């Protein structure tokens, strides 16, 4: 009937149509009635004497006269006529003429018109509120959902790479299953467990696995479910959530993204009072006068630094479980879990993929496996090969290949020498990570990429390793100067990264002649009181000198290595450029 219209708009159109039809019918009926003719009061008296009048209806402003022939007339009596002639009514009764007194029809019409206008106004206000709230009027009921073994398909077997965190939450499940085993030695169940870690490390997945393993009711909600623009709604939802949890002998309550409701109070003059009331109610429910025996509150957040200190004290969140990025062994286990869902060829080496993904979270690794499967399907293959996973890793790390980017021959040659400079320095330095891949196919913002594959995860870095990293970054610029006899802007990011490493070595790591002293940088935060650099101008000059010395030392190391191991000789480069036979000459060598 109304194509492309929403249900609320259809209802509004139907209601407006009904009101319009009713008004038209009312006006038509009023106009269809026979209009009375005006007569003088003396003529009315003559008609009464002649016996032509059947009924008279008197209102405050006029008299309606119904004649015996079926016609209707209207007249106006002189002021005070009825009081001055009391026999007038007696005469009407003697002649069997019906006489009645009525209210003004205009007053009745105005009454119903005002009533109709008021109803229309209330309907308009209600529709406006419906549109403002998008059809979701505030409910005092909490939006917590109940998870059971049947609905939670994730178990501890599906969680990998966070063995310590899994052991911590497994203890909670066992405590709820067998409370007497722990209570016999005086132990009490933790009231709250806070899962803390970067995004994508598996905090929510770990909570879902608890729902799959626990033999007790598991109620879960999001922190944003308690935040409302209406006063008192959030606090009421918190009360309702814990009231439902107390109905069970043992229960787990999980709140995802706790920082949405648990942000520190009083941190800003623009603090939302409704959110603070909700937080206060949560604090009282977790550790107040109401008994919470058998209720464990789990929460997940990646912003522990902004949580209110009252939430983190013992008695509320007694235990904080760190869910960090997995190490090499954990990444391999996570890849194995997600690889079960796709068809892999026998040549797939998950350990090699895990080695090449340092710093990846569980979500990143799941995305890598999915990208590999999509890449294999795009090329019409039924199984995911090791090359597909390698290409997916390069796509996640460095961006999509830009094969359509048009580069001149000189730019290609320059890019090749630049990446070769990185590769030679990385291969010659003993403290550097092993070289894995070199390409001049543009990816993301880079025209070429030199990739190193660490053998193991590095949690600390030695000075030799950092200096080698600076030298590798300088290798591209040095190769351009030696073999191309010019400088390009392609080394801009390399220089920025090398300078940042050198500055951290001097200011944070104490790896310079200035000694083991931390030099605080000037704060750039707007409104911060700490605007000073924390040291004098003379010390700042010495810091700059040390940073320059570290960068230039790496520059000289790269120059010496490239001069000892040319890639290739300058004579060969000139031959290639002069004959314009880059592909053929490269294949010969």
DSSP 307: B
Q: Which of 213, 371, 419, 480 is catalytic?
A: 419
Phi, then psi, of 72 in degrees rounded to 5: -125, 140
User: Is the Cβ–Cβ distance between 67 and 39 less than 8 Å?
Assistant: no
Residue holding tokens 């109304």? 2
* CB distance 403 to 440 below 8 Å: no
CA distance 94 to 562: 136
| Omega before residue 568 within 30° of 0, cis | yes
Where do we find the tokens 């025996």?
A: 293
186: left (phi over 0), alpha (psi -120 to 50) or beta: left
Q: Which distant-in-sequence residues (6+ apart) come within 8 Å of 523 by Cβ?
A: 530, 531
Paired with 452 in beta bridges are 435
3-state per-residue secondary structure call for 381-416: CCCECHHHHHHHHHHHHHCCECCCCCCCHHHHHHHH
Is 164 among the residues known to form the active site? no
State how far the Cα of 424 lies from the Cα of 144, in Å rounded to an integer: 59
Residues in CB range of 240: below 8 A, 6 or more apart: 140, 141, 142
Give the 3-state secondary structure of residue 181: helix
- Residue 188 Cα distances to 173, 180, 181, angstroms: 13, 10, 11
Q: Is 499 helix (H, G, I), strand (E, B) or coil?
A: helix
CA–CA gap between residue 490 and residue 411 (Å, rounded): 10
Q: What is the distance, to the nearest Å, from the Cα of residue 339 to the centroid of all Cα atoms in its chain?
A: 28
Residue with tokens 């600076």: 470
Please state, in angstroms and rounded to a whole number, the distance separating the CA atoms of residues 24 and 286: 63
CA separation for the pair 449, 317 (Å, rounded): 46
Query: b or e along 548-583 (b: 16 or more beta carbons within 10 Å of the residue's beta carbon)?
Result: eebbeebbebbbebbeeebbeeeeebeebeeeeeee
Q: In terms of residues, how long is the chain?
A: 589
Give the residue numbers annotated as catalytic, written as ranges. 419
């Amino acid at each position: 009937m109304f194509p492309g219209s929403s249900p609320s708009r259809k209802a509004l159109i139907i209601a407006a149509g009904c009101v319009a039809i009713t008004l038209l019918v009312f006006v038509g009926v009023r106009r269809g009635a026979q209009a009375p003719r005006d007569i003088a009061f003396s003529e009315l008296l003559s008609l009464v004497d002649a016996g032509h009048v059947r009924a008279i209806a008197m209102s405050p402003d006029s008299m309606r006269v119904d004649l015996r022939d079926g016609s209707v007339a209207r007249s106006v009596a002189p002021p005070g006529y009825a009081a001055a002639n009391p026999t007038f009514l007696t005469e009407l009764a003697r002649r069997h003429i019906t006489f009645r007194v009525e209210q003004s029809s205009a007053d009745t019409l105005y009454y119903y018109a005002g009533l109709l206008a008021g109803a229309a106004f209330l309907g308009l206000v209600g529709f406006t509120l419906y549109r403002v709230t998008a059809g979701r009027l505030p409910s005092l009921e909490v939006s917590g959902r109940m998870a059971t073994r049947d609905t939670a398909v994730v178990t501890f077997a599906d969680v990998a790479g966070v063995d310590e965190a899994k052991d911590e939450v497994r203890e909670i499940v066992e405590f709820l299953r067998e409370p007497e085993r722990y209570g016999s030695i005086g132990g009490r169940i933790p009231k709250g467990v806070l899962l803390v870690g970067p995004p994508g490390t598996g905090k929510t997945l770990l909570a879902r696995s608890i729902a799959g393993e626990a033999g007790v009711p598991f109620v879960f909600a999001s922190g944003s479910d308690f935040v409302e623009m209406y006063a008192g709604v959030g606090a009421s939802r918190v009360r309702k959530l814990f009231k439902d949890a107390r109905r069970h002998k043992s229960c787990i309550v999980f709140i995802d993204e706790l920082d949405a409701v648990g942000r520190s109070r009083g941190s800003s003059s623009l603090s939302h009072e409704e959110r603070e009331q909700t937080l206060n109610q949560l604090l009282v429910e977790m550790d107040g006068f109401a008994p919470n025996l058998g209720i464990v509150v789990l929460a997940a957040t990646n912003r522990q630094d902004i949580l209110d200190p009252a939430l983190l004290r013992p008695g509320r969140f007694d235990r904080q479980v760190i869910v960090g990025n997995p190490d090499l062994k954990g990444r391999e286990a996570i890849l194995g879990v997600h690889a079960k869902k796709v068809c892999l060829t026998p040549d797939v080496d998950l350990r090699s993929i895990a080695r090449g993904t340092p710093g990846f979270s569980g979500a990143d690794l799941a995305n890598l496996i999915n990208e590999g499967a999509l890449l294999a399907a795009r090329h019409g293959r039924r199984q995911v090969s090791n090359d597909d996973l390698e290409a997916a890793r390069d796509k996640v790390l460095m961006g999509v290949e830009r094969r359509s980017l048009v580069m001149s021959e000189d730019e290609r040659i320059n890019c090749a020498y630049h990446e070769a400079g990185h590769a030679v320095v990385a291969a010659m330095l003993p403290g550097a990570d092993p070289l894995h891949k070199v390409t001049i196919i543009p990816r993301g913002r880079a025209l070429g990429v030199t990739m190193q594959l660490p053998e193991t995860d590095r949690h600390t870095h030695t000075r030799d390793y950092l200096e080698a990293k600076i030298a590798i970054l300088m290798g591209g610029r040095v190769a351009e100067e030696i073999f191309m006899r010019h400088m390009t802007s392609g080394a801009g990011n390399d220089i920025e990264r090398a300078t940042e490493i050198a500055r951290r070595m001097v200011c944070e790591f104490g790896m310079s002649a200035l000694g083991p002293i931390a030099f605080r940088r000037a704060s750039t935060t707007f409104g911060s009181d700490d605007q000073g650099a924390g040291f004098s101008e003379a010390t700042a000059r010495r810091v700059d000198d040390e940073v320059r010395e570290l960068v230039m030392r790496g520059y000289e190391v790269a120059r010496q290595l490239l001069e000892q191991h040319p890639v290739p000789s300058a004579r060969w480069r000139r031959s290639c450029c002069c004959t314009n036979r880059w592909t053929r000459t490269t294949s010969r060598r």
